[in-house]
Chains A and B, each alone.
Chain A
Amino acid sequence: MIYFDNSATTKISPEVLTTYDTVSQKIWGNPSSLHNFGEEAWNLLEQARQQIAKLMGVKPSEIIFTSGGSEGDNWVIKGTALAKHRFGKHIITTSVEHAAVRNAMAQLEELGFEVTYLPVDKEGRINPADVKAALRPDTILVSIMAVNNEIGTIQPIKEVGEILKDYPNIHYMVDAVQAIGKGLDDLVFSDRVDFATFSGHKFHAPRGTGFVYAKSGRKLSPLIDGGGQERTMRSGTENTPGDVAMARAIRLVKENEAATVKNEQAIKERIYDHLKQFDHVRIFSGRNAGFAPHVLCFAIVGVRGETIVHAFEEQGIYISTTSACSSKKHAEAGTLAAMKVPENEATSAVRISLGDQNTLADADEFNQVLDQLYAGFQKIID
């Protein structure tokens, strides 16, 4: 099997699973308990936090554990709205965000917030000048994803940060779920970014893990209140095994980051260059440095995306329509629509997303299978 759907989820790595298992069996005390059995769990959890902070180049107190990307996105957006609605009710985001951001925004709109959705160019990228033009005295939040999950576009996080330096009161949030381990930390943690959200299962950590980077001094209301865990920012008994396993997963990802990026870029290029030869293929992702190395989105125009997915699946290759989260809803790809890709092309779009276990041999096999499938599809393409 060739697994090319790493942006949907990744396989938990054996070492990470060992950690999860060991912590679950041995250090299962409640970190909030006062006795030293609980204390041990607390120490372990804090050490995991420190490790993540160190690898990310931030302070331990700025890392807050969550259940994943959707929670992180919802929290920062709604938490900002709760904390800052007295100062204004205007939010700026892009028209290509993940549903977790998009739908959180939609909920706020129902409550009377105004949201500006920035347009994108044909590479799926916003123009920083549009951010500047959209800013208003009552803007409280700017939320921009670092890497688009559907086509891999890297957004101009730094440039927007430069603009926002003149507006120090606005929260600047980056959905970094697709950016971890892709050589993009400088971008995500550039100095004006206030919040960044991460999801564990995208980098071989268990499901239900994640964390938010929250710059110290920035005010965010909690969404989950209760026992006051995570410094009252996110209540609920700590997921010690999950969080510790995630800390390990990050270390592993970081250790191999440079090699992974290089490998993924090489695989992507090999497939990209192959795809280019076909008349009915449209490639939406770029091959250049403006795109993350692990995402490649294309269409065989005239064949529905799900048909392509199933055809590959029969050959043991797993890809997806543009976003696993929305692919079952037959929704037209949000990003492609925002890029003004014609509907017939957008409904044909599929996404390859690479992980560190993929090899160039996988690319060759994919290309071969594509040749066969394309020959077959030509009958149904007029």
Chain B
Amino acid sequence: MQYTEIMVRYGELSTKGHNKKSFIDRLGSNVRHALHRFEQVKVHAQQDRLHVQLNGADYDEVMKHLKDVFGIQNFSPSIKVEKSFEAVAAAAEAMVKEQVTKPVTFKIETKRADHHFPIDTFEMNNRLGGDLLEKFPDKLKVDVHHPDLTIRVEIRLNGIFLSSETIKGAGGLPVGTAGKGMMMLSGGIDSPVAAYLGMKRGVSMEMVHFFSPPYTSPQALAKAKQLTEKLAKYSGSIKFIQVPFTEIQEAVKEKVPEGYLMTVQRRMMLRLATAIMEKRHGLAIFNGESLGQVASQTMESMMAIEDVTNYPVLRPVLSFDKTEIIKIAENIDTYDLSILPYEDCCTVFTPPSPKTKPSVKKARLYEQHLDVEGLIQRSLDGIKITEIHPGEDFLNQNEDVFAELL
């Protein structure tokens, strides 16, 4: 069956009061962005719903992309027919034929927006239901309370729309409606999940990645970019900010007692993230910390580290167990990448026994031996920003050569 449009229902958007219009506009533009490869598709974002006119595009493909757009509660592929009972009956028949393989219960649910149409809701339900029962006596049985199949008929001014499936959307809020956030992306399992969850709540995310060659490998950098690529589909593209960290790491290692290596390193990272955020007009810093997971993720440690910033540091996976995080990582397809065994800057120079309860006072004290300002400035001067789009490949530059072998 060739559907003619997809009807998209908003989620929480409907409750956003004054902001509703800007939310809907943003969702409309995000949907357009997600579907831009389908040239013939037209997107109309209206007050109550969003309509995707297919104009012949492959609806399976379109729906696959719609599933990644935050701010959508659910959607139904529907078919537009001319405004006559015969046309409605024919389309409904085709629908049942395609979708019903074993006997099911069903009901018809009609909505009539065009009150000039001669058949009213009640009559349409009855006539169409009767018609289908006659055509499929073995397959269909009426159950108006708990039907397996609901055929929705919407009588509008510009035609009649039939739909029967409702497909769950990604939920959340449209990316961009919450403002911009800076994600401290390592390369592990947690930070991509945290980024995903932040984006799901409407944050337009930019990735901040620290790299320290030769202590971290080029593959670790490529891996972080590839993880960013995986997340880019939720927002069209993502800015990847790579921050040189070698000099800082060496200085910290040289001057700071072992127990505070990590705390001071993290304070330096957070200073950098803060500076970058101010410059790029972000509103918050995000990271993938989960309370108690490792030594640096105790509340004492968070306190000692957050001492260097005045901005909110948000931790979307704070209260998640590792297994819960892994489950999401698998769903968003970042898990297999995250477990690639490349050293990143969180794993090099990890002291054998970091302080699980570092104090702010001591962290400040040890930093006095460092030229904090100079180190930060030199690192900021070396920043490189790239924009990453879905489908780009960073890990496997030899892929074309390999393709011939496979």
Q: Is the CB of A47 within 8 A of B399?
A: yes
Interface size on B, residues (CB 8 A): 14
Q: Is the CB of A44 within 8 A of B398?
A: yes
Q: Nearest chain A CB to B301's CB is how many angstroms away?
A: 30
Q: Is the CB of A248 within 8 A of B405?
A: yes
Interface residues of B in 379-406 (CB under 8 A from A): 395-396, 398-399, 402, 405-406
Quick one: which of B219, B335, B336, B406 has the most chain A CB within 10 A? B406
Nearest B residue to A18, CB-CB? B405
Contacts of A88 in B (CB 8 A): none
Contacts of A48 in B (CB 8 A): 406
Interface string of A18-42 (1 = CB under 8 A from B): 0100110000000000101001100
Q: Is the CB of A248 within 8 A of B406?
A: yes
CB of B12 closer than 8 Å to a CB of A: no
Contacts of B219 in A (CB 8 A): 39
Instruction: Choose from B330, B335, B339, B396 the contact partner of A43 (Cβ within 8 Å).
Output: B396
CB of A247 closer than 8 Å to a CB of B: yes
A251 to B405, CA, bound (A): 11
Nearest B residue to A35, CB-CB? B217
A318 to B330, CA, bound (A): 48
Contacts of A51 in B (CB 8 A): 406
Instruction: Choose from B218, B330, B339, B406 the contact partner of A47 (Cβ within 8 Å).
Output: B406
CB of A76 closer than 8 Å to a CB of B: no
A194 to B406, CA, bound (A): 27
Q: Is the CB of A43 within 8 A of B405?
A: no
Q: Is the CB of B395 within 8 A of A43?
A: yes
A199 to B395, CA, bound (A): 29
Q: Nearest chain A CB to B134's CB is how many angstroms away?
A: 35
Q: Is the CB of B217 within 8 A of A47?
A: no
Q: Nearest chain A CB to B129's CB is how many angstroms away?
A: 34
Contacts of A46 in B (CB 8 A): 396
Nearest A residue to B340, CB-CB? A46
Interface residues of A in 277-294 (CB under 8 A from B): none
Q: Nearest chain B CB to A214's CB is how many angstroms away?
A: 14
Interface residues of B in 206-247 (CB under 8 A from A): 217-219
Contacts of B336 in A (CB 8 A): 59-61
CB of A216 closer than 8 Å to a CB of B: yes
Q: Is the CB of B398 within 8 A of A244?
A: no
A304 to B336, CA, bound (A): 54
Contacts of B218 in A (CB 8 A): 36
Instruction: Choose from A36, A40, A59, A251 the contact partner of B330 (Cβ within 8 Å).
Output: A59
Q: List 18 A-B contacts (CB under 8 A).
A: A19-B405, A19-B406, A22-B405, A34-B217, A40-B398, A44-B398, A44-B402, A44-B405, A46-B396, A47-B399, A47-B402, A47-B406, A51-B406, A60-B336, A61-B339, A244-B405, A248-B405, A248-B406
- In the A-B complex, the 4 residue pairs with the closest CB atoms: A19-B405, A43-B396, A47-B402, A61-B336
